[in-house]
Chains A and B, each alone.
Chain A
Amino acid sequence: MSPIYVHTVKSRVADIIIWVLLLAFTLSCLIPLVNLVAISFSDNAAASANLVSIFPVNPTFSSYEKLLSDTQFWRSFMISVERVVLGLIVNVGLMILTAYPLSKSSRQFRGQKIYMNLVIFAMLFSGGLIPTFMVVKELHLLDSIWALILPGAVPIGNVILLMNAFRAVPKSLEEAAKIDGASQWRILGRIYLPVVLPTLATVTLFTIVGHWNDYFGALVYINKAANYPLQTYIQQLSVEVQNITDPEKLMELAKISDKTLNAAKIVVSTLPLLLIYPFMQKYFVSGIVVGSVKE
């Protein structure tokens, strides 16, 4: 893996160039986020005048104090938390139950082919936004948190990822358990699930991020802004821009918006993701590689 280098002057120069480029890439990802944090701790005048770079100017907690008393923000925050918890239970439960029988050969499970084709058909083809919206409406789910969870209850991409993990489990484990008279439910719970834990962790984390980050579902299915989850609430902060047809207005709007408070909102809404990020990093790398480089 490690190429052997002769340390010539040329190689040194190449090293410097490589480090500079890598640093540029890394900083490009880091600075905008640090800048956001810095703005959230600066005073509004400095932020509006674009004086804040990576350190707060006239450091203050005032935007966070303002944020603490913003009831709609926290209401939306809690709606998002509720959604992640409910979504996680529904999605991961259905993922496991759907992926396991699909991972069996059609010899072991006679209906496997039919089910598999149905699942793939559902993955490839969809009625689209409007017909789905009408079904949700007919079921009287509009304005309910379930409208954000049930239409995507079976995440097919993740089902396939998990199915491949189940398939990689040695058959001998199952056969041994069968001789002891274990049922398929038991075999799934006691043998298969512990073995595929890393993949399960990956899809679980994807699910959390997916639910936390989704703003669009609520835009379509929730009418009352008071019931918006956090991302939709945040999305609405910048939405005024979308209807503007006059360049001057666009500039004006940028000036009057409460930059520091908005920055604080974004920082707080991102914190939960940052908290699970270290765990995610451990798993998503293996998840991607398992999912995409199948030998």
Chain B
Amino acid sequence: MKNKKDQTAFHLMLAPGMIFLIIFSFIPMFGIVMAFQNYVPAKGISGSSWVGLDNFKFMLQIPDSKQIFANTIIIALWKIVVGTIVSIVFALLLNEIRVRFAKRFMQTVVYLPNFLSWAILATVVMNIFSYEGPVNAFLGWFGIDPVLFMASNTWFRPMLILTDVWKGFGYGSIIYLASLTAIDPGLYEAASMDGANRFKKLWYVTLPGLMPTILLVTTLNLPNVLNAGFDQIFNLYNPLVYQTADIIDTYVYRVGLVERQYSLGTAVGLLRSVVGIILILSANKLAQKLTDYRIF
């Protein structure tokens, strides 16, 4: 009797959340059929004609599609690799200093950019990298001609990677700082006894101690190879740099919502979603195997 009351309470608690999930997550999933149709808004899903895999075939035929896929992977991989390294380096450097006030201050400052949106930071970045902006002024001291970063297919990508790492490295270092404090101090003392210098301790004690965390974070980053950073690119790019910076997500937005080619947009989104799920599931499995950690 008691238990029955508990069961009812649990179901009631879950009811509102489930209703929202049904309406805004599960029902839209049926919209995926648009990917296999020539969807015409006036006719609706039931009235539109079926085209099988035509949208997918078309997608593979557009010359842009290869470029967009390559852009996504290249930008995402660079961001993950550089971001991870910079976060680790920052955590290691911070771990070496003992002045608590300075440590706290630095942490406070470098975590901050992560909480600002790209809608805001875009203006800041455009200012800094503008033709007459500080970066070009700096390059000028070395006799380098000013670069129009925002319109250069050579420089736009490195600029994306740099500013993304800048925004996220502080926040990314938190997890490494946390696991640094978990390294047994006895190991450092023992290393000192053996005459290890600072660098040797870093190499033989600190880095091996960090390895499980590095491994875990890298694994969990696996699904992000498809996630090149919509918000950043969307707020910074322009048609001049589509060639090197147009990614799957920005393409879906433009084709699907701006140009209203619903079927094509949905097809591209579906393909990305399926590959994404495979990556997430693999990452979860891999993380479980390597470190006993499960995302869910």
Question: Chain A residues in contact with chain B, CB under 8 A?
Answer: 1-6, 10-11, 14-15, 18-19, 21-22, 25-26, 28-30, 32-33, 35-36, 39, 50, 53, 94, 97-98, 100-102, 104, 108-112, 115, 118-120, 122-136, 139, 150-154, 159-160, 178, 183-185, 188, 209, 213-216, 220, 231-232, 234-235, 237-238, 241-245, 247, 250-251, 254, 259, 262-263, 266, 269-270, 273, 277, 280-281, 284-285, 288-289, 292-294
> Closest CB-CB distance, B286 to chain A, in whole Å?
15
A-B contact count (CB 8 A): 282
Chain B interface mostly helix, strand, loop or mixed? helix
Query: Do residues B238 and A11 form an inter-chain contact, with CB atoms below 8 A?
Result: no
Query: Do residues A185 and B109 form an inter-chain contact, with CB atoms below 8 A?
Result: no
Which positions 249-296 of chain B face chain A at CB distance < 8 Å? 252-253, 256-257, 262, 265-266, 269-270, 273, 277, 280-281, 293-294, 296
In the assembled complex, B131 has its CB within 8 A of some CB on chain A: yes
Chain A residue at minimal CB-CB distance from B104: A281
Q: Which residues of B contact A216 (CB under 8 A)?
A: 231, 234
Query: Do residues B119 and A231 form an inter-chain contact, with CB atoms below 8 A?
Result: yes
Contacts A1-B183, A130-B256, A247-B151 supplied; 19 other A-B pairs, CB < 8 Å: A2-B185, A4-B189, A25-B110, A100-B13, A125-B277, A127-B27, A127-B30, A128-B273, A130-B269, A135-B27, A150-B20, A184-B10, A250-B151, A251-B131, A254-B132, A288-B174, A288-B178, A292-B217, A294-B293
Given contacts A97-B16, A234-B123, contact A154 B240 (CB under 8 A): no
Report the Cα distance A247→B185, complex, angstroms: 57
Report the Cα distance A151→B24, complex, angstroms: 5
The 8 Å CB contact of A127, one of B2, B31, B109, is: B31
Stretch of B48-56, B59-67, B93-101 with 4 or more beta carbons under 8 angstroms from chain A: B93-101
The 8 Å CB contact of A266, one of B18, B124, B234, is: B124
In the assembled complex, B159 has its CB within 8 A of some CB on chain A: no
Q: Which residues of B contact A30 (CB under 8 A)?
A: 109
Q: Which residues of B contact A178 (CB under 8 A)?
A: 2
Q: Which residues of A contact B237 (CB under 8 A)?
A: 242
Query: Do residues A153 and B14 form an inter-chain contact, with CB atoms below 8 A?
Result: no
Chain A residue at minimal CB-CB distance from B202: A3
> Closest CB-CB distance, A21 to chain B, in whole Å?
6
Q: Which residues of B contact A266 (CB under 8 A)?
A: 120, 123-124
Chain A residue at minimal CB-CB distance from B182: A293
Q: Which residues of A contact B21 (CB under 8 A)?
A: 118-119, 122, 154
Query: Do residues B120 and A270 form an inter-chain contact, with CB atoms below 8 A?
Result: yes
The 8 Å CB contact of B13, one of A22, A101, A118, A269, is: A101
> Closest CB-CB distance, A54 to chain B, in whole Å?
11
Which positions 1-48 of chain B face chain A at CB distance < 8 Å? 2, 5-7, 9-11, 13-14, 16-18, 20-21, 23-32, 34
Query: Do residues B277 and A183 form an inter-chain contact, with CB atoms below 8 A?
Result: no
Size category, B interface? 35 or more
The 8 Å CB contact of A215, one of B105, B119, B148, is: B119
> Closest CB-CB distance, B287 to chain A, in whole Å?
10
Q: Which residues of B contact A109 (CB under 8 A)?
A: 6-7, 10
Q: Which residues of B contact A184 (CB under 8 A)?
A: 5-6, 9-10, 13
Q: Which residues of A contact B189 (CB under 8 A)?
A: 4
Query: Do residues A18 and B97 form an inter-chain contact, with CB atoms below 8 A?
Result: yes
Q: Which residues of A contact B269 (CB under 8 A)?
A: 128-130
In the assembled complex, B243 has its CB within 8 A of some CB on chain A: no
Chain A residue at minimal CB-CB distance from B111: A281
Q: Which residues of A contact B94 (CB under 8 A)?
A: 22
> Closest CB-CB distance, A19 to chain B, in whole Å?
7
4 tightest A-B contacts by CB?
A131-B31, A127-B28, A213-B117, A128-B269
> Closest CB-CB distance, A120 to chain B, in whole Å?
5
In the assembled complex, B115 has its CB within 8 A of some CB on chain A: yes
In the assembled complex, B116 has its CB within 8 A of some CB on chain A: yes
Query: Do residues B24 and A238 form an inter-chain contact, with CB atoms below 8 A?
Result: no
> Closest CB-CB distance, B17 to chain A, in whole Å?
4
Query: Do residues A125 and B29 form an inter-chain contact, with CB atoms below 8 A?
Result: yes
The 8 Å CB contact of A128, one of B107, B134, B266, is: B266
Chain A residue at minimal CB-CB distance from B9: A184
6 residue pairs from A and B, CB less than 8 Å apart? A25-B169, A32-B124, A101-B10, A152-B24, A237-B123, A238-B235
Q: Which residues of A contact B213 (CB under 8 A)?
A: 293
In the assembled complex, B207 has its CB within 8 A of some CB on chain A: no
Chain A residue at minimal CB-CB distance from B263: A130
